[in-house]
Amino acid sequence: MGLWDAMTGRSRIKEPDLDAMFLVPSAAITLQTAAGFMPTGTGAVCYRAAAGAAFAQAQADIVALIDDEPAAPSVTTTTDAFGFTWLEVVGSPDDMAGLCTDLHAVNSTIEAQGFGGGLLCTLVPFRDAAGRTFGLVYLYKQGTFYPFAPVPGLPAGEQRRDNLLEITVRDHLQAELPFEKDLQRWLAVWDARGL
């Protein structure tokens, strides 16, 4: 914070560190060895799509960039009930580095095209042998991670979180990833792709 910012009472907004996505492959190894959770091979970036041709072209460029790889993962875009777009990348569960590179490319391309304000989060799902699933969520505007674990098998219309699993995941990974300390920012992403 500079002198002028201090005098006017302003503070600078923390810039997101998209390179934190490259910490996820080593965190995945920790999750596998410590808790038996394996990556599903999918990941998704959630954003509010801007209106206009420029954003449509940026989104098309992102899909083309990922599809241009030799062993290209599948890429789909959908819109959830809240109007957010989910760009989902489905690849091999054994290639976490490739998945994180693709998710980083999606985020950085949207940011570079001037649409970073619409980015919400990035999600990488994990599953254990018992069928429990959680998503490791990267909050773009905070530059931090948190786990989101929906309880599976509930009656239609009922939604609950597995808070114990979320805290357990945090405890396993907080030394490796920048975790969101404010639990109120651990938002539920019920319509997340891949969960």
Longest Cα separation, the chain: 56
User: Looking at the whole model, is its pTM more than 0.95?
Assistant: no
* The pLDDT of residue 54: 82
Across the range 141-153, mean pLDDT stands at 93
Q: In this structure, how many other beta carbons lie within 10 angstroms of the beta carbon of residue 84? A: 18
At residue 1, does pLDDT exceed 60? no
* Mean pLDDT across the chain: 88
The reply to whether 11 falls in a domain is no
The reply to whether 134 falls in a domain is yes
Across the range 180-192, mean pLDDT stands at 92
Q: State pLDDT tens for residues 87-123.
A: 999 989 999 999 999 999 999 988 988 888 899 999 9
Beta strand segments in 37-187, E:
38-39, 42-47, 74-79, 85-90, 119-127, 133-139, 144-148
At residue 12, does pLDDT exceed 80? no
The reply to whether 39 falls in a domain is yes
At residue 160, does pLDDT exceed 60? yes
The reply to whether 5 falls in a domain is no
Number of domains forming the structure of the chain: 1
Q: What is the CATH number of the domain that holds 139?
A: 3.30.70.600
The reply to whether 65 falls in a domain is yes
At residue 81, does pLDDT exceed 60? yes
The reply to whether 24 falls in a domain is yes
With contact defined as beta carbons under 8 Å apart, do 31 and 124 qualify? no
* The pLDDT of residue 146: 97
The reply to whether 86 falls in a domain is yes
The 8-class DSSP code of residue 179 comes to: B
Q: State pLDDT tens for residues 19-78.
A: 899 999 999 999 999 999 999 999 999 999 888 888 888 888 888 878 776 677 888 889
With contact defined as beta carbons under 8 Å apart, do 103 and 124 qualify? yes
What does the block give as tokens for 123? 């999600």
The parent domain of residue 176 ranges over 16-185
Distance CA 106, CA 89 (A): 10
The reply to whether 108 falls in a domain is yes
Closest CA to 103 of 122, 85, 119: 122
